[in-house]
């Protein structure tokens, strides 16, 4: 209702010229005609701006729409399988070396586990007592949960149990808990909230009688895994404050690490001659880690490639996403080959499928199968 109309759509009496007749169609509520209607109509740029504001969703609405996006479970399933493979390999290595009772056993039994000396021991010790038996029970629970998680059997529950059991072992001997262990636990919690068990799993077979059902799952857990990986890299770069990582220290960090028998897997007699290559590796490492936030921009520009913008076109033309991920894969494979860092390189690579939308992951898998 405009300012010049009453509640029934007729021109207000105060604005009607003396002696003017009421339009014949006013009684049925239709629009008025003539100058009065023209005065109440909004035309020109103001109307267009009003319509644009009305159509443009708010930031909150865009955030809700983003978090409500759904996609095929391919990428999340690949993360699930990769994480489970890394953890299984780690558990098997611990078992082969007979380290379960040594690392996590209670100090009263002559082991390294010091949690039994804490005022607040881990939950399993409070319930079952600090003993080698309770240690084996928790480790067995972690191992069994890893197996069921890999198979996709009760996937969400398996992920939660595995994260809890891993946290209990970490609390038993905090010094033995590595940064990658914490990162894996966080990803397990995200996968527990996701549809990672909706493909290539016994859960998918039980519900749909196929390992690859055509269903959609929430995409936000994958987005958060990407954010976590980007933050890990960026914070690692920010904490490299030693001079050897920077030009002022001659970029000697990688050379020093490869010369340190504590970290280096092999003695490399040719390392002195390859010193410029180690400098290049040091600087590429810093560029890769400190440049990690630009990966988020690259992912967004790839997602919105149809929109205009010089920077967007440049990012997509230069394949920033592919270059950054290739550097990451090469970086971690080199670490796994040359440096003793346990499961860290493989654990980080296990998160990489999250950087690909399911359609891209499926195309890659199809090429591997030769289709």
Structural domain contains residue 5: no
> Do the domain assignments include residue 355?
yes
Same domain, 76 and 213: yes
Tally the domains of the chain.
2
**Same domain for 275 and 163?**
no
- The DSSP annotation for 154-185 comes to SHHHHHHHHHHHHHHHHHH-GGG--HHHHHHH
Segment 51-60 mean pLDDT: 72
Domain end call among 191, 218, 245? 218
| DSSP secondary structure, 299-327, as one string | HHHHHTTTS--HHHHHHHHTTHHHHHHHH
Mean pLDDT for the stretch of residues 328-332: 96
Q: How confident is the model at residue 14 (pLDDT cuts 50, 70, 90)?
A: very low
Same domain, 75 and 205: yes
Number of other residues whose CB lies within 10 A of the CB of residue 58 = 8
pLDDT at 242: 87
Which residues, 6+ apart, have CB-to-CB distance to 242 below 8 Å? Answer: 249, 253
Same domain, 275 and 330: yes
Boundary (domain end) residue, out of 168, 192, 218? 218
Q: Is the separation of the CB atoms in 106 and 113 below 8 Å? A: yes
Q: 70 - beta bridge partners? A: 218
Q: What is the pLDDT of residue 40?
A: 46
Tell me which residue range forms the domain holding 336.
234-361
Neighbours of 81 (CB within 10 A): 20
Domain membership flag for residue 334: yes
Strand blocks (E) in the chain? 70-71, 217-218
Rounded to an integer, what distance in angstroms lies between the CA atom of residue 80 and that of residue 243?
38
CA distances (Å), 90 to each of 146, 147, 222, in order?
11, 13, 24
Are residues 80 and 144 both part of a single domain?
Answer: yes
Look at residues 153, 222, 220 and name the one whose alpha carbon lies nearest to residue 187: 222
Q: Are residues 239 and 202 in the same domain?
A: no
Are 159 and 184 in contact by the 8 Å Cβ rule? The answer is no
Looking at the fold, whether 177 and 261 belong to one and the same domain comes out as no
155 and 94 together in one domain:
yes
Residues 278 and 341 grouped into a single domain: yes
Whether residue 130 sits in one domain with residue 254? no
Domain endpoint, select from 190, 218, 246: 218
Distance, in Å, from the CA atom of 35 to the CA atom of 17, rounded to the nearest integer, reads 11
pLDDT in tens, 106-136: 999 999 999 989 999 999 999 999 999 999 9
95 is a domain residue:
yes
DSSP state of 236: H
Residue 235 has pLDDT above 60, yes or no: yes
Instruction: Supply 259's token pair.
Output: 């010369």
Task: Report the distance separating Cα 160 and Cα 146, nearest Å.
Answer: 10
Residues 259 and 357 in one domain: yes
Residue 145 lies in a domain: yes
Residue 86 forms part of a structural domain: yes
Question: Are residue 76 and residue 210 in the same domain, yes or no?
Answer: yes
What mean pLDDT is predicted for residues 150-166? Answer: 98
pLDDT in tens, 256-287: 999 999 999 999 999 999 999 999 999 999 99
At 368 the pLDDT is: 86
| In-domain check, residue 225 | no
The predicted model gives 26-55 an average pLDDT of: 49
Residue 21 belongs to some domain of the structure: no
pTM higher than 0.95, yes or no? no
For 65, 140, 301, 316, 349, the CA distances from 304, given in Å and listed in that order, are 15, 47, 5, 10, 26
């Amino acid at each position: 209702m405009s300012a010049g109309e009453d509640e029934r759509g007729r021109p207000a009496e105060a604005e009607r010229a003396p002696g003017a007749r009421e339009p014949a169609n006013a009684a049925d509520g239709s629009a008025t005609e003539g100058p009065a209607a023209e005065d109440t109509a909004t035309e020109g740029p103001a109307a267009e701006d009003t319509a644009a504001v009305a159509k443009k969703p708010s930031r909150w609405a865009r955030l809700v729409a983003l978090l409500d996006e759904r996609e095929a479970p391919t990428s999340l399933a690949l993360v699930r399988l990769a994480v489970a493979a890394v953890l299984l390999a780690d558990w098997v290595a611990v078992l082969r070396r007979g380290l379960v009772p040594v690392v996590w056993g209670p100090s009263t039994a002559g082991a390294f586990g010091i949690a039994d000396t804490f005022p607040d021991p881990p939950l399993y010790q409070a319930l079952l007592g600090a003993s080698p038996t309770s240690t084996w029970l928790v480790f067995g629970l972690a191992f069994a949960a890893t197996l069921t998680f890999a198979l996709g059997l009760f996937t969400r529950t398996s992920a939660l149990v595995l994260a809890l059991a891993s946290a209990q072992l970490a609390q038993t001997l905090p010094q033995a808990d590595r940064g990658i262990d914490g990162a894996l636990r966080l990803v397990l919690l995200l996968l527990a909230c996701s549809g990672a068990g909706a493909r290539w799993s016994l859960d998918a077979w039980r519900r749909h009688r196929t390992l690859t059902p055509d269903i959609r799952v929430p995409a936000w857990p994958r987005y958060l895994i990407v954010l976590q990986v980007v933050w890990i890299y960026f914070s690692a770069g920010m904490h490299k404050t030693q001079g050897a990582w920077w030009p002022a220290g001659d970029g000697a960090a990688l050379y020093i690490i490869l010369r340190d028998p504590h970290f280096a897997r092999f003695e490399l007699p040719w390392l002195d001659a390859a010193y410029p290559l180690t400098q290049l590796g040091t600087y590429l490492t810093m560029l890769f880690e400190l440049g990690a936030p630009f990966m988020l921009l690259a992912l967004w520009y790839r997602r919105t490639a149809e929109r205009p913008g010089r920077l967007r076109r440049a990012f997509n033309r230069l394949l920033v996403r592919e270059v950054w991920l290739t550097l990451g894969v090469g970086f971690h494979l080199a670490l796994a080959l040359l440096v003793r860092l346990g499961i860290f390189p493989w654990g980080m690579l296990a998160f990489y499928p999250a950087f690909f939308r399911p359609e891209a992951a499926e195309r890659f898998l199809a090429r591997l199968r030769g289709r």
